[in-house]
Amino acid sequence: MEPLKSPSDLEKLRKKILAEKNPNAPAIAACVSTGCEALGVKGCLKAFKEEFKRQGLEGKVEIKETGCLGFCEKGPRIVVYPEEIFYFQVKATDVPDIVSKTVMNKEVIERLFYIDPITGKAARKLSEIPFYKYQNRLLLDSNAKVDPKKIEDYIALGGYKALAKALYQMTPEQVLEEVKKSNLRGRGGGGFPTGRKWESTRNAKGEPKYVIVNCDEGDPGAFMNRALMEGNPHSILEGLIIGAYAIGSNEGFIYVRQEYPLAVENMQTALEQAEKYGLLSNNILGSGFDFKVKIHKGAGAFVSGESSALMTAIEGKVGEPRPKYVHTSEKGVWDKPSALNNVETWANIPLIINNGAEWFASIGTKGSTGTKIFALAGKVNNTGLVEVPMGMTLRDIVYKIGGGIRNGKKFKGVQTGGPSGGVIPEQHLDSPVDFDELAKLGSIMGSGGMIVMDEDTCMVDVARYFVNFLCDESCGKCVPCREGLKQARKILDDIVAGKGKEGDIEKLKEIAEATSAAALCALGQTAANPMLTTIRYFNDEYEAHIKEKRCPALVCKNLISYYIDPAKCAACTLCFRNCPVNAVEGERGKIHIIDQAKCTKCGTCFEVCPPAFRAVQKLSGAPVPPPIPEEKRWIKKGEKGAAN
Amino acid sequence: MSVDRVDRIIDKYGCETGVLIQLLLEIQRELNWIPPEAITRINKRLKIPVSEIYRVASFYTALSLKPRGRHLVRVCAGTACYVRGGPRILDSVERTLNIEAGETTQDGKFTLETVNCLGCCALGPVVEIDGQYHGKLSSASVEKLLSKYN
């Protein structure tokens, strides 16, 4: 492997890679990122290897391991090339069929296609699947095409062209100008204009200057950055090198949380390969520009994702934020000027350099350009990663792409922005999703987590969940966050336990106000958002908990009771056998009763009661009806489901 | 014993400034906890005050100052798992193992922790045991899952 010394070397290499690739050669591509792995893709790959051996296809059909294409709900996902046939929810037992029918005889297997749950129609192409149809996958599309462990795959797609263009056809100032013109805003949550951030680091006094990738994706329910780093690490690296060139930096850090071992591994491989090709380290592409980068693994602290905290963590210290009047762009890592951007922000840079700022700005809305990747999760049918142009409405994301709410339940709210964000209710579903519109609703865009909640989600409990999360993760440095959140948690704990008092809501609002005004860092300042938005939009739920001691969503343990409806109970003994504390009394043929004194409200009986009976019910705000008389508990044969 | 292993790890990273967290992470991975002798060793060789090392080691959740059990059970407490019944799964694991999150069973078999998000929200509620993900769990299925480990 000779280091590339010029853009024409890179172009030659690209042509060579393409020439060696036969576009009509059969191949299997499987997503091996964390989601599909958890669903068993490794078993499928093993089955493919065995089956190829058995059929004498070993070495004749390539097996490609690629990144995440977003549709985690329907994983493991397999693509058969050259026909580009997408199969979903593939099991190892499906593999012999795929090999003998699709690979060898070009026959498709209908049952492995995506089946539209509404029309029942099988989708042969990705564009026929609603989940993909409404997306604009500028960043994520390549995930299915490249093997993240092979730089050649990335180069074949035109990778590092933007770097060559920046180094040879543009001055650092021109690169900076282009990024400014594109109006790209930080994808990590803040939405600060990237170009301006770069400019202040560039103009700041002090050497060396650092550039940093933030992949400390700590928001619960968010996995966009992981997918990008696992699936296409070179796109991030290319963006980083271009940024370093524009800023005048020769040293960078990639901060990845240790909970993402595969992302660390793939990024490490990417760095080694890029260096071998002369795309990293000394004299990049023969341009004379030097840039080195190190990976720093985060050790698990939510607050370390905050930019100044992340920089102290890089120094090997406790990752605590610093006051913001000292800008990290001027005094960051070891007090040197440092430009930190989120993974997704960096990955957008090559697109902007290749296609121009005007092209980029034409996507999305005026104030929020480009696309944004969201992690759609919770009570939605199609969980997964969704990349859409900024400005799409929440309704379109939840219903058109997400396929609506699971199990036919009713939508209640969508939580955006992680613990710093808020819950947006149904009446605002038609709001466009961009940095400014979400802020108007009291939430934030954040890094892109989007958790859908249905009628079974208790909003007071959700607020308590986030406050509890932030209490645990508060670094403890400043009083409003450390003490204020603790008090808020106590009040919320009381409310969900049925001990809420008049005036609690007002007190929560007061704490929220003080915390957002006086906390040191953005995490503390935004910590009150989940409380404030739930109070603003779901005040009735708070009132029900406090005044009626009732949880309308039937979630809060202390406010609910489990009860077996004798009219529906088929005395099948399922709940009786599964109850971990033996609180269910009964036998086959004898209607079951829950001993309320023994019941720990774990919900197991509710889970195991067959949907055909739905005899176990949750009650709140009403007393549990007394048990029926002993003699009426026997079910006669032929009645209800007792016969089974 | 472990001092040699700690020394080897220190040699690998060198005594540069800023390596402390990376060092501790690797010691954690090798020894399954950060024993006191590791801390004194780092103090001696890197000239970082013991208090500072303790501060770092107690701040980050990936680092443990107590020995962990043979199997690490991590229940996902991310938002997506939470709304899909994660707390009930945690209850169920706690009841089955008879310990609370953050504790290790008496026989040293299991350590139970919660984790903020594992990023496989499509599978929620999720439990990770020794790096293996188990998704779409119900509280009734927890006992069976745990019984597979010894």
pLDDT tens track for A391-423? 999 999 999 999 999 999 999 999 999 888 999
Q: A71 by DSSP, 3-state: which?
A: coil
For domain A371-454, the question of CATH label 3.40.710.10 is answered with no
What whole-number percentage of chain A has pLDDT above 70? 99
Measure the CA–CA gap between B138 and B125, rounded to whole angstroms: 8
- Residue B1's pLDDT is 55
Answer yes or no: do B133 and A34 touch at CB < 8 A. Answer: yes
DSSP letter assigned to residue A570: -
- For residue A226, the chain B residues in CB contact (below 8 A) are 119
Taking an 8 Å cut-off on Cβ atoms, the answer to whether A299 and B91 are in contact is no
Averaged pLDDT for residues A598-605: 92
Question: C-alpha distances in angstroms, A18 versus A152, A153, A158?
Answer: 9, 9, 11
pLDDT digits (tens, 9 = 90+) for A59-105: 899 999 999 888 988 889 999 999 889 999 999 999 999 999 999 99
pLDDT of residue A639: 62
Stretch (H or E) spanning A199: helix A194-203
Q: Which ipTM score applies to this complex?
A: 0.89
Is any Cβ of chain B less than 8 angstroms from the Cβ of A186? no
Share of chain A above pLDDT 90, in %: 80
Contact of B92 with chain A, judged by CB distance below 8 Å, is answered with yes
Q: Check CB contact under 8 Å for B126 and A35.
A: no
Query: Residues of A numbered 489-518 whose beta carbons fall under 8 angstroms of chain B's beta carbons: which are they?
Result: none
Strands B110-115 and B71-76: parallel
The minimal CB distance from A315 to the residues B18, B83, B116 is found for B18
Task: Decide if B95 and A313 are in contact by the 8 Å CB cutoff.
Answer: no
- List phi, psi (to 5°) of A32: -115, 20
A39 with B91: Cβ contact below 8 A: no
Give yes or no for B49 touching A (CB within 8 A): no
In this structure, whether the domain defined by A559-633 belongs to CATH 3.40.50.720 is answered with: no
- pLDDT averaged over every residue in chain A: 93
Q: How far apart are CA A156 and CA A234, in angstroms?
A: 12
Tokens 């959700």 map to which residue? A462
CA distance A109 to A87: 8
d(CA A3, CA A483): 56
Contacts of A300 in chain B (CB under 8 A): 60-63
Q: Is the pLDDT of residue A641 over 70?
A: no
Q: How many angstroms away from the CA of A475 is the closest CA of chain B?
A: 8
The residue type at A8: S
Å from B108 to nearest chain A CA?
23
The pLDDT score that the predictor gives to residue A638 is 60
Instruction: Name the residue ranges covered by the structural domains of chain A.
Output: 25-81+85-124, 151-361, 371-454, 459-547, 559-633
Residue in A35, A259, A418 closest to B122 by CB: A35
pLDDT for the residue numbered A221? 83
pLDDT for residue A612: 94
More confident site: A292 or A144 = A292
Mutating which of B79, B91, B95, B142 best tests the A interface, going by the most A Cβ atoms within 10 A? B79
Average pLDDT, stretch A461-476? 92
* Mean pLDDT confidence for B127-148: 90
Rounded CA separation A522/A233 (Å): 28
Residue closest to A217 by CA, chosen among A234, A196, A236? A236
pLDDT value of residue A326: 81
Per-residue confidence (pLDDT) for residue A302, from 0 to 100: 85
pTM (2 d.p.): 0.91
Question: Which of A268, A318, A473, A606 is the best mutation test for B, with the most CBs of B within 10 A?
Answer: A318
Residue numbers of A between 413 and 452 with CB closer than 8 Å to B: 415, 418, 449, 451
- pLDDT given for residue A543 in this prediction: 97
- Scanning A307-326 for CB atoms below 8 A from B yields 313-319
A25-81+85-124: what CATH class? alpha beta
Is the CB of A38 less than 8 angstroms away from the CB of B92? Answer: no
pLDDT of A644 > 50? The answer is no
CATH code linked to domain A151-361: 3.40.50.11540
| Residue for token pair 């993760």 | A473
CB contact under 8 A, B122 and A383: yes
Collapsed DSSP state (helix, strand, coil) of residue A156: helix
- Which residues on chain A are in Cβ contact (under 8 Å) with B25? 258, 297, 299
Least confident of A223-232, A245-254, B75-84: B75-84
Task: Give the domain ranges of chain B.
Answer: 2-59, 71-147
Confidence of residue A640 (pLDDT cuts 50, 70, 90): low
On the question of pLDDT at A643 being above 60, the answer is no
pLDDT of residue B15 exceeding 80, the answer is no
pLDDT tens by residue, A10-55: 999 999 999 998 888 899 999 998 888 888 899 999 999 999 999 9
CB atoms within 10 A of CB A579: 23
Query: Around Cβ A180, how many Cβ atoms within 10 Å?
Result: 16
What was the pLDDT predicted at A561? 97
A113-168 pLDDT per residue, tens: 998 877 888 988 888 899 999 999 999 999 988 999 999 999 999 999 999 999 99
Q: Considering only residues A274 and A35, tell me which one the structure prediction assigns the higher pLDDT.
A: A274
pLDDT (average), residues A498-512: 96
- CA nearest to A220, candidates A450, A499, A2, A454: A450
Q: Is the pLDDT of residue A258 over 70?
A: yes
pLDDT number for residue A184? 97
Which ranges in B14-141 belong to alpha helices (H)?
Answer: 20-31, 36-46, 50-59, 79-83, 86-97
Dihedral angle sign, alpha carbons of residues A416, B125, A388, A165: positive
B124 or A457, which is more confident? A457
> From residue A556, how far is each of A68, A457, A493, B79, B87 by CA, in Å?
36, 10, 10, 16, 11
CA B101 to centroid of chain Cα atoms: 11
Contact state of A34 with B118 under an 8 Å Cβ cutoff: yes
pLDDT, one tens digit per residue, over B60-77 is 988 999 999 999 999 998
Give the pLDDT score at A512.
Answer: 94
Fold of B71-147: Glutaredoxin (3.40.30)
Picking from A457, A604, A608, the nearest residue to B83 by CB comes out as A457
Is a pLDDT exceeding 90 seen at residue A435?
yes
User: Is B115 touching A (CB cutoff 8 A)?
Assistant: yes
Task: Assess whether pLDDT exceeds 60 at residue B40.
Answer: yes
| Subunit contact A75:B122, Cβ cutoff 8 A | yes
Q: Topology of A459-547 in CATH? A: de novo design (two linked rop proteins) (1.20.1440)
